[in-house]
């Protein structure tokens, strides 16, 4: 399974090509659009989200609401493009003012050097997290594949700007249809998060945070210990780390392993006639030896505060080399809730890829048969 995306933030559209899903998977476009709408919500989002209403067009690979096994082309139009027709024109001479004051923490400066450009817009347009809409569309299709074989992928926000959820306040049953616009399951923490975002916005500042992805129903044995690039923990880490603005990824209670002895951290095994081998804890986050162990997969990702500050930081002008304040663009104060939806999408793609690597098949029925046979061998119902 693989995908590519294309498109600039203020260009005509975003496009993704997803290749490798089996034929015979039912596709529900409304569900893809619901995920796209969910990614657009979030207290702390900027003016752009009032312009966009993301909807997917499927241009290939699906007929009568079923996959054909062909590459699937997904397209999301940028409604804002109509305001950028000249500045983002494919033909003609450069038009409009150049962006020349690089933002610390952004791709601006290195991008300009590496790609030999004179206008930071040539870099920021593609570095922009607008591209994550395409990732979510891809992930939403993968989530439909996973759902069909009993695997569900959820996410929720656990920290914004240092305001942390209290896990005692959380009802995990709400993961499936959480309507909070911060995608947070702890109402008390959410109120404080809003306050924190409001204060940051007023100060011209931005906030990052942490989201958690939980995958339920993944069979034991996805990924492999035998080679570095087969380890599913590594692949999942990359899939989250590759999301714009992510600076750290944790698997299970990853950081705690540094502070506690083995006796406290490794998940002990027990035997039960019905459950067979089971564990009472899940510190490992469902991954041991680079393979799923049948427990929930739990991942966390840290998002940095967005680099576009309305009270800009010290920087340099790429043209004059003078010390200036970084450029200001319309942007978000906080997009951790949006990133949490992207995180679930990227994890879904990676798990779907691992399923197909393990069970193969070009037809949905063949994939299901292969999973059934495998589960039978393991003695699972």
Q: What residues line the site for ligand EPS (CB under 6 A)?
A: 9, 46, 48, 52, 80, 128-130, 132-133, 308, 329-332, 338
307 labeled binding residue: yes
Largest CA distance in the chain: 74
- Check whether 304 is labelled as a binding-site residue: yes
Task: State which residue, 200 or 284, has the beta carbon closest to ligand EPS.
Answer: 200
Q: Which is nearer to ligand EPS, 46 or 217 (CB)?
A: 46
We find the least distance from the C-beta atom of residue 243 to ligand EPS, in angstroms, to be 11
Q: Is the dihedral of CA 99, 14, 2, 300 positive or negative?
A: positive
149 versus 342: smaller Cβ distance to ligand EPS? 342
Task: Tell me whether residue 22 is annotated as binding.
Answer: no
| Cβ-based nearer residue to ligand EPS, 132 or 340 | 132
Q: Is 179 annotated as a binding residue?
A: no
Of the pair 100, 128, the CB lying nearest ligand EPS is at: 128
Q: Which is nearer to ligand EPS, 80 or 357 (CB)?
A: 80
Q: What whole-number distance in Å separates Cα of residue 82 and Cα of residue 238?
A: 35
Least distance CB 159 / ligand EPS (angstroms): 20
Task: Consult the annotation and say whether 180 binds a ligand.
Answer: no
Q: Tell me whether residue 102 or residue 215 sits nearer to ligand EPS (CB atom).
A: 102
Rounded least distance, CB 107 to ligand EPS, Å: 10
Cβ 342 to ligand EPS shortest distance, Å:
9
Q: Is position 128 annotated in a ligand binding site?
A: yes
In angstroms, give the least distance from the CB of 48 to ligand EPS.
3
CB atoms within 10 A of CB 330: 10
> Of the candidates 364, 368, 361, 369, which has an alpha carbon nearest to the alpha carbon of residue 67?
364
Find out whether 126 is annotated in a ligand binding site: yes
Tokens representing residue 27 in the block? 């596709």
Could you give the CA distance from residue 269 to residue 253 in angstroms, rounded to a whole number?
Answer: 18
Euclidean distance between CA atoms 81 and 299, whole angstroms: 35
**Is residue 198 part of an annotated ligand binding site?**
no
CA–CA separation, 164 and 207 (whole Å): 13
**Residue 86 annotated as binding?**
no
d(CA 261, CA 334): 36
Q: How far is the CB of 99 from ligand EPS (least distance, A)?
A: 11
The answer for residues whose C-beta is within 8 angstroms of residue 226's C-beta and 6 or more apart is none
Return the DSSP state at 53.
-
Using CB positions, name the residue nearest to ligand EPS.
48
Binding site members for NADP(+): 39, 45
Binding site members for FMN: 126-128, 244-245, 289, 304-308, 330
Binding site members: 39, 45, 126-128, 244-245, 289, 304-308, 330
């Amino acid at each position: 399974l693989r995908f590519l995306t294309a498109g600039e933030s203020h260009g005509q559209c975003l496009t993704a090509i997803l290749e490798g899903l089996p034929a015979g998977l039912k596709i529900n476009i409304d569900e893809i659009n619901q995920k796209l709408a969910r990614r657009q919500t979030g207290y702390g989002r900027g003016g752009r989200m009032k312009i966009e209403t993301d909807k997917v067009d499927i241009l290939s690979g699906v007929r009568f609401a079923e996959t054909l096994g062909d590459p699937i082309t997904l397209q999301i139009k940028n409604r804002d493009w109509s305001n950028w027709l000249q500045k983002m024109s494919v033909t003609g001479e450069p038009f409009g003012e150049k962006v020349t004051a690089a933002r610390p923490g952004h791709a601006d400066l290195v991008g300009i050097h590496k790609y030999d450009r004179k206008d930071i817009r040539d870099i920021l347009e593609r570095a922009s997290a607008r591209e994550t809409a395409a990732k979510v569309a891809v992930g939403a299709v993968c989530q439909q594949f996973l759902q069909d074989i009993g695997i569900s992928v959820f996410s929720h926000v656990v920290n914004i700007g240092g305001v942390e959820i209290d896990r005692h306040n959380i009802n995990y049953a709400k993961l499936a249809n959480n309507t909070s616009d911060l995608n947070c399951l702890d109402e008390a923490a959410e109120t404080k998060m809003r306050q924190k975002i409001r204060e940051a916005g007023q100060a011209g500042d931005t906030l990052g945070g942490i989201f958690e992805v939980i995958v339920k129903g993944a069979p034991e044995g996805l990924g492999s210990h035998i080679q570095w690039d087969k380890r599913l923990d590594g692949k999942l880490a990359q899939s989250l780390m590759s999301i714009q603005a992510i600076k750290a990824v944790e698997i299970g209670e990853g950081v705690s392993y540094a502070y506690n002895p083995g006796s406290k951290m490794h998940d002990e095994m027990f035997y039960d006639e019905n459950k067979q081998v089971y564990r009472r804890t899940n510190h490992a986050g469902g991954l041991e030896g680079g393979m799923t162990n049948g427990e929930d997969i739990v991942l966390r990702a840290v998002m940095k505060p967005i680099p576009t500050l309305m009270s800009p930081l010290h920087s340099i002008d790429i043209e004059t080399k003078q010390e200036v304040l970084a450029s200001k663009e319309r942007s978000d104060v906080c997009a951790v809730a949006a990133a949490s939806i992207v995180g679930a999408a990227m994890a879904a793609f990676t798990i779907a890829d691992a399923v197909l690597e393990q069970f193969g098949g070009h037809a949905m029925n063949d994939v299901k048969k292969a999973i059934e046979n495998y589960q039978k061998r393991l003695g699972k119902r």
